[in-house]
Structure 1
Amino acid sequence: MKATSALLAPLIAGASATIYYAGVAESGGEFGAYGTPGTGIPGTFGKDYQFINQAGVDTHVDKNHLNLFRIAFLLERMSPPSTGLGATFDETHFGHFKDAVDYVTVTKGAYAILDPHNYMRYNDPSAQPYSGSVIGNSSDPKAATTAQFGEFWGELASRFKDNEKVIFGLMNEPHDMTTELVLENNQAAIDAIRAAGAENLIIMPGNSWTGGHAWTEGSDPSSALLNKFKDPANNTAIDIHEYLDVDFSGSHAQCVSDAATHLADLTAWLKTNNLKAFITEFGGANNTGCATMLKDMLNYMSSNEEYIGWTAWAAGPFWGPNSPCCTDSAQLGSLEPGSTAADGTPGLYDTVWLPVFQPLVPEELQWNGKATVNGGELSTFEARGN
């Protein structure tokens, strides 16, 4: 436990904090590839994987007044292994993905984070998060290069640069690699995005699963290097994940790791470096302990100006009774509207989202204009003018 004064300082300093973007992570576009290498690549849309359920997005926007969706996909489907990571896309797959992004951003008027859910790896998602070659690993002849990662992001950015509601999430949860290489890959992507003429908001990850609790820890911490990126558009934020269980994995039902303790050093680092952050994965089970800690975490973000947005893990069309996190493998459903547990009782949407998250969704969010690290004009859902 850190000293009480260290915990209170960020709360006092962030008294005028604002959350501009709030929503859920849409998980499903990365499904269908687990098993024998090559399984589900490219896969069948609507059978092996799917990005969103439009009816679920409708509920989250129209009823819950959320303005942000993080939409996962696999690099190997967008940029096939047969041609390698880079600027050559599977146009059919891209079309399905663009349909989902357009539904969120154009039809519903919300913001979308593009999420390559690959753990900074490429070529074999069959046993994620560990399978595949680390991007930029020069000692692995099968690895895609840092330059190829940049080429990929330059191409993807060129296709979405005219949509100011699209946010580029560079990579999901890099891990077991050097922080220097994480920075090099991030910088290659930022350079390519800006070279493509895209000024969209970028959110970039750190090392160690981009965990907030681990940001300043260890012999090779994210804090040592991740402030050294360069963005000529000055529109890059930090992407953080933070689960509340004992090992920060999001696999256990008991929440024991409170945000005020475990995010204090990260928050101080963000403040020192004049940086903003999104927490794009966090969640909890349907118990009293998690309800309390999730509320505390949402209040912590809303009380510290370093945090401008969040997406809870996870909704998505293919979860069924399975749980995306925090249930010790119990089948308690997901944050997808209408979700039910395996025994037919209400799922996590009804037992966690509605009673815990929904009351703390800000009444005013940014509904119009370019997504930026500085946020934009706030309005209620009813007054958003879309």
Structure 2
Amino acid sequence: MLIKSFVSSFALLQLGAARVQFLGIGIAGGDFGCEIDGSCPTGSTQLPLRSFNLGGGDGEGQMKHFSQDDGMNLFRLPISWQSLVNNQLGARLDASNLAKYDKLVQACLATGAHCMIDIHNFARWNGGIIGQGGPTDEQFVSLWTQLATKYAGSANIVFELMNEPHDLDVPTWAATCQKVITAIRSAGALKQMILLPGTNFDSAAHLVGSGSAQALMALTNPDGTTDNLLLDVHKYLDEDNSGTHAACVTNNTDAFGEVAAFLRQAGRKAIVSETGAAPAGSACMERFCEQNAFINANSDVFVGLVAWAAGSFDTSYILGLTPSQKNGKYVDNALATKCVVGTWLESSEFAPPAVSSASARASSSSAGGSGSSSAVATSPTTTQSTSVEVEGGVSTSESTVIEASTPTPAPTLTTTALVVSSGLPLPATVSETLAGLDAPNTVTGTIQTTATRNLVPGASATKSTVTSGGLSRAVSCRGGLVWFSAVVGFVATAGLF
């Protein structure tokens, strides 16, 4: 029997739980009026500070709702460079404007979430590119030195150096970012996450090809480490990645898959700090859910996912995730409920798309580790099922022998999914991917699944059946922690979550 090692690009078994660590929403308003040339009229700013009688949306109330009702733990707080320095390039932070922005930051920190400071200027100031004919590196460093000094004592602050740079020289931009990293750490902000954005509007589709990812991952902290230096990733689903069209033409899994493969090979991580889709229409609902399920499934390299946007946007905004109010309480729209929160807490009902054999082998060469999964080829005509019942703290398992006698000269990739949810704060999802690689005419093997759960009062049972390539599985479980293992053609995979 010819067996080839295969590491799923989703790396779910290695991770245990297939979901990102941080989930959140952009609380917009401080960015209002900003154009892609870096012009941001301060008169257009609408910080979402209605709770403080300062106008804009109810950012404080929204963040409380998202954190308490949805479990979100990361909020992105955009602000323009012009606002922070009251239109005086190179000046000290304006005390009055900073105080207003800090009210939003403190409201965010009060939820217990991580709070992302996002300078929303497209690597520019009124048309000039930072360090490339526009503002000097020293002026940009001054901005971040002051911000880092102010928030150095807040472990939950995340520094997003710049929103969506574009049309710039990548090596020069990377050198600018290195100066800012050094300044932030030297100001005493030693442990906070720093997000590093690339050119082409930080698009997942171009981060690798443009050389941005490679250049940014070469940057270091002053001590030479790369701890908490993460790649910043954006991507929309519309025709030109602008987030201005209602139609969703892609689920972006190819683009995010390319970034995930790069990160895995480099041994680094990223945060998807901006992505969004129009709430109306079944195509957007389906594709946005598929995208976010894919990002969660690749949570070994994607640390967080932040959707765009709420804050000072009203509910009619084309990408609006601003909750409506009903009986004095905030209520999420369907897109937020299903595709943002739903794919995080319960996993998407859409199966992640298969990766090619070439991608699988590339992942295999770079991942490794005790949690990596392996598989052997099985015929797509093979049929088997496995059930797991856990009651009263006692687990049982059943297994069946798979026999395939039909020739399979070009086997297809098949995916099965095991889904377990409960009343716990952290429901879990596990998936495994079986690759049909170089299958002989006959394959005989065993697939066996076992699960052990510690019962928790109030936990609910769920059941999911997924069939792909003739393989099906149904699972029903209750309780808390699960040990999941599978044996495929005598090659074992395992994960704990």
Note whether the superposition's TM-score is higher than 0.5: yes
Tell me the matched-pair count: 328
Cα 1:11–1:361 shift into 2, 3 Å: closer
> CA deviation digits over 1:243-264, x for unaligned, max 9?
1222222222222222321222
Partner Cα distance (1:69, 1:120) in 2: 21
Cα 1:60–1:145 shift into 2, 3 Å: same
Q: Give the CA deviation at 1:51.
A: 7.7
Moved more, 152-161 or 292-301: 292-301
Question: Hey, what does 1:225 align to over in structure 2?
Answer: 215
| 1:298 counterpart = 2:288 | no
> CA deviation digits over 1:316-363, x for unaligned, max 9?
12x2254253xxxxxxxx2111179xxxxxx99413112332222338
Q: Give the CA deviation at 1:30.
A: 1.5
Between Structure 1 and Structure 2, which shows a larger proportion of strand residues? 2
Alignment check: 8 A CA contact 2:41 2:82 kept: no
Partner Cα distance (1:348, 1:112) in 2: 22
Letter in 2 for 1:133: G
Question: Hey, what does 1:109 align to over in structure 2?
Answer: 112
Letter in 1 for 2:277: G
> CA deviation digits over 1:46-103, x for unaligned, max 9?
6997585222112111211211100010101102333x235x0101111111111111
| 1:320 counterpart = 2:314 | yes
Question: Hey, what does 2:413 align to over in structure 1?
Answer: none
Partner Cα distance (2:58, 2:130) in 1: 27
Question: Hey, what does 1:267 align to over in structure 2?
Answer: 260
Alignment check: 8 A CA contact 1:204 1:237 kept: yes
RMSD: 3.0
Question: Hey, what does 2:337 align to over in structure 1?
Answer: 354
2:322 match: secondary structure? coil
| 1:311 counterpart = 2:306 | yes
| 1:235 counterpart = 2:228 | yes
Question: What pairs up with 1:1-386 in 2 under 5 angstroms?
Answer: 9-12=8-11, 15-16=14-15, 17-32=18-33, 39-41=41-43, 50=56, 53-82=59-88, 84-85=89-90, 88-105=92-109, 107-122=110-125, 124=126, 132-137=127-132, 140=133, 143-199=134-190, 200-217=192-209, 220-231=210-221, 232=223, 234-285=227-278, 286-304=280-298, 305-317=300-312, 319-325=313-319, 334-338=320-324, 349-362=332-345, 380=425
Partner Cα distance (1:112, 1:55) in 2: 15
Alignment check: 8 A CA contact 2:324 2:331 kept: no
Cα 1:176–1:114 shift into 2, 3 Å: same
Which of these two proteins has the greater Rg computed from alpha carbons?
A: 2
Partner Cα distance (2:217, 2:58) in 1: 33
Letter in 1 for 2:290: D
Partner Cα distance (2:310, 2:150) in 1: 26
Partner Cα distance (2:331, 2:14) in 1: 31
Partner Cα distance (2:129, 2:325) in 1: 35
Letter in 2 for 1:85: G
> CA deviation digits over 1:266-286, x for unaligned, max 9?
111111211111111111122
> CA deviation digits over 1:176-214, x for unaligned, max 9?
111112212211110100110112111111111110111
1:225 match: secondary structure? helix
Question: Hey, what does 1:367 align to over in structure 2?
Answer: none
Q: Give the CA deviation at 1:215.
A: 1.5
Letter in 1 for 2:10: L
1:297 match: secondary structure? helix
Alignment check: 8 A CA contact 2:42 2:87 kept: no
Partner Cα distance (1:96, 1:324) in 2: 27
Cα 1:13–1:175 shift into 2, 3 Å: same
Partner Cα distance (1:9, 1:53) in 2: 39
2:42 match: secondary structure? coil
2:204 match: secondary structure? coil
Letter in 2 for 1:292: E
Q: Give the CA deviation at 1:148.
A: 1.5
Partner Cα distance (1:32, 1:43) in 2: 7
Cα 1:253–1:144 shift into 2, 3 Å: same
Moved more, 221-230 or 273-282: 221-230
Cα 1:9–1:38 shift into 2, 3 Å: closer
Alignment check: 8 A CA contact 1:255 1:293 kept: yes
2:217 match: secondary structure? coil
* TM-score after normalising by structure 2: 0.61
Cα 1:49–1:242 shift into 2, 3 Å: farther
1:10 match: secondary structure? coil
> CA deviation digits over 1:103-133, x for unaligned, max 9?
111x2111100001110111x3xxxxxxx21
Q: Give the CA deviation at 1:151.
A: 1.6
Partner Cα distance (1:229, 1:271) in 2: 17
Between Structure 1 and Structure 2, which shows a larger proportion of helix residues? 1
Alignment check: 8 A CA contact 2:174 2:215 kept: yes
Q: Which consecutive residues of structure 1, in runs of 5 or more, have no partner in the other structure?
A: 1-6, 125-131, 326-333, 341-346, 364-378, 382-386
Cα 1:33–1:283 shift into 2, 3 Å: closer
Partner Cα distance (1:349, 1:249) in 2: 24
Partner Cα distance (2:162, 2:13) in 1: 28
Partner Cα distance (2:25, 2:292) in 1: 13
Q: Give the CA deviation at 1:13.
A: 6.7
Alignment check: 8 A CA contact 1:118 1:171 kept: yes
Q: Which consecutive residues of structure 2, in runs of 5 or more, have no partner in the other structure?
A: 1-5, 347-423, 427-497
